[in-house]
Structures are given as structure tokens and as C-alpha cells.
A and B are shown apart, each in its own frame.
Chain A
Amino acid sequence: MTTAFETIRWGQGPFAFELIAHDRALAERARAVFRPWLLTGGPERTARFEIEPAANPGDGARWLVRSTLLAEPTERGSVDEALRWVELKALETFVPATDHAIAVHGALTDLAGRGVLVVGATESGKSSLACGLWLEGAALLADDVALVELASDIARPGPRRVALRHASRALWGDALWERIAGAPSAAPTDEGVCFHPDDLGSGTRPASTPLACVIFLRRNGRPAGEPAALTRIEPAHAVLAWLPFLVFGARLDAGEAIRRVAPFAARVPAFDLERGPLAAMVAQARRAAGLET
């Protein structure tokens, strides 16, 4: 008797992950989930995961997930749940582990070679604006976490699928929602669906993008302005605007974060964008990126 397994390797920037799949269907599914970031070589492994059928499934759990990030294995009820767990754990290592980059809670798009990073709190509308840009032809790279290389202003997407909430279905329409839900990489989540935008034939997305601007949505402490108003943030104030959105910021001292972000904020323009009709916000985002006057 032999034990068959496949190793799927993926990563982004200085991070590389491996998943050992003890099931052919699981391996195929994992390749669809991690397709944009699959590696054949690349950097040294950051973490390893292993998913196998649970020997003694209990309480409906059917898949056992082990990881070098965990002391004890965890169980998940389905392949999709196990892979979403792996996605999240891999993302959690996507932190400012070097002096050269920071991880930011934001949505990343590429508009004709110009990177637009949309930053805001949960439910501030990051995904909606990013998807609005995507439907206008931008590449949608990430809607959750991006890694920004501070010396070069290059941004890379966190290796995780884009997630849409059920609440946004009316915004996109049933036809598009059904296409998204039927995409090869799509999987249901508690709140909606996650997928790779380029599964829908929107072209190949770049692995990274040079940031042309950063857009903050619904920043705390600001009085509401005119709908879809775009306001340039003075660079020194942009440094402070960044701080709440640095991922896993508790591990990064605020003084250190300020030092890292300051040169970047002096180079890359930052804007506040007020809520408004999506089409108007998309036009303003394109303007911020220098694509419309």
C-alpha cells in the first residue's frame, strides 16, 4: 500500500507556502484556489500545511489540517472550509516581517499599470469600489491585504481570493453574481462568496503594481463631505492615516511604523474619498490615479 500525496507551492514576495494534499480532488481544488500565486521555485518556505481526511470524523468534521504554524491540528467540515482556513493562516504570515515592506488592510487594483490601493475599515466599501474599478477594466488584485514595498512603492496582493458579501449582490446584479459563484475558484463563505476575478475572463492580472495613489474611505474623525468628493491628504497627515490599517499592527511599534511609512507617504499621493454613487467614486479613483482630469 502506498500513500499518495501532492505538494502545492504558492507564495507572494518573500513568502512561500506549501500544502501537502492527501487527496487528488483536494489537490485540484487547491491549485484552483492558489492558482495566481503558484510557485515552482521561489523563496524559502515560510509555512507548510497538510490536509488529509480525518481518521475518526466527529461532529461532522471530515478534514484534518496540520500546519507548522500550529501545535495541534484542526478539523474542518469540507475541503472548501479547510482551504479557506489555509488561505487565512497563510495570509496572517503575510506581515511586515522585513524592514522593506508593510502589510496593509486594503483593496488593490491595477489601472493600466497604475496601482490604486483602497484603504478603509471593515465595511467601509473597499471591495465595492475595487469591484467597480474591476468592472471598468482594472485588474482586481486583492480586496483584503496588500504588501507594499516601501523603497519601490510596488504593491503586491495578499495571496487570498477576493470576497464579496451577500449584501452587495444588488449592486452587481444577479447575472454577474451567478457568474462569480460559478467561477472555478469560487467558494461560499458565511457572508457571501470568494473567487478570483480573472476566472471571469477579465484578463491576466499582474503579480504586482506600482502604486499611483492611496485612497482612504470613511477615515475616522473627518466630517462628511460632498458625495464622492476627492480630497488630497497632506503627506505628513497621510502617515497617521495609515497607522490603523497596518495589518497586525500590534506587532509593529507605532514609532517604527511611522518611520517606515514616512518616506513612502511623501512620494505616493493619498486622498480621502467620500461615499457617493459608485460610478462617481470610480471616476474619482481614476482621477486620483492620474487617468482622468
Chain B
Amino acid sequence: MEASAVRFRAAADVETSGVGDRVVLYHRGSKKALVLNPTGSFLWARLDGPRSKDELTGFLLERYPALEPARARLDTDAFVAELALHQMLA
């Protein structure tokens, strides 16, 4: 499967708590917590269903029209990598 076709969603054992414009994620298995910045929190809210990196990048460009596509893709890659590192994605 092509990398761009891989789809991600929020892992089932992650609890989400909104605090202002950010979310705090808590992984019940690893007992680790993570605070997302407002952009990450925006993307996290879209992971209630399976999303590819292309789709997540598209959400970012919709939300921030001035953002360059290459920059949006880099942000998406970093977001997915960080969440995967903490087992927050399924």
C-alpha cells in the first residue's frame, strides 16, 4: 500500500480532554499524557474516523488558507509521527 493511502484514526484507548483551544490526550495503556497545540488539537478532532495524511493536509489548508501546501504537509507528517510515537493512533 502506498504511504499516502495509509489511514489513521484516534486509538480507542486514548482519552481526550479539551482545555481552551488545546486538548490533553491520555493513553490508558501506557499511562502517558500529551498536550497538543491548537493546530494539533484541530487535526486530532478530525481523527474520529480514518484519515490519510493527504486528507489531514487538506484540512489544514482549508483552515489556514495562507499556509503553503509543502509546509502543511510537513506539519501533518510531524503531527502523525509524534502521535504514533506515543501510541495515540490506530
Could you tell me which A residues sit within 8 Å of B by CB distance? Answer: 234-240, 243, 254-255, 258-259, 262-263, 265-266
Contact = CB atoms under 8 A, between A and B. Distances in A.
A239 B24 CA distance: 8
Contacts of B17: 239, 258-259, 262
Given A240-B33, A254-B31, A254-B33, A235 B19 contact: yes
A259 B14 CA distance: 12
A258 B22 CA distance: 13
8 contacts: A235-B20, A235-B22, A236-B22, A239-B35, A254-B31, A258-B26, A259-B15, A266-B19
A237 B33 CA distance: 10
B19 A236 contact: yes
A237 B35 contact: yes
Contact of B22 (A234, A254, A263): A234
A258 B20 contact: no
Interface of B is mostly: strand
Contacts of A266: 19-20
Interface of B: 15, 17-20, 22-24, 26, 28, 31, 33, 35-36
Interface of A is mostly: helix
B42 to A, nearest CB: 14
Nearest to B35: A236
Contacts of B22: 234-236
A41 B40 CA distance: 51
A253 to B, nearest CB: 8
Given A235-B20, A239-B17, 10 more contacts: A236-B19, A236-B20, A236-B36, A238-B19, A240-B33, A255-B26, A258-B15, A262-B17, A262-B24, A263-B19
Contacts of B35: 234, 236-237, 239-240
A255 B20 contact: no
A262 B19 contact: yes
B19 A265 contact: yes
Question: By CB atoms of chain A within 10 A, which of B15, B17, B33 has the most?
Answer: B17
Contacts of A238: 19
B30 to A, nearest CB: 11
Nearest to A256: B15
A237 B19 CA distance: 9
Contacts of B19: 235-236, 238-239, 262-263, 265-266
Contacts of A239: 17, 19, 24, 35
Listed from nearest, the 3 A-B pairs whose CB atoms lie closest are: A236-B22, A236-B19, A262-B17
Contacts of B28: 255
Given A235-B19, A239-B17, A239-B19, A258 B31 contact: no
Contacts of A240: 24, 33, 35
A163 B24 CA distance: 35
A70 B33 CA distance: 36
A263 B26 CA distance: 16
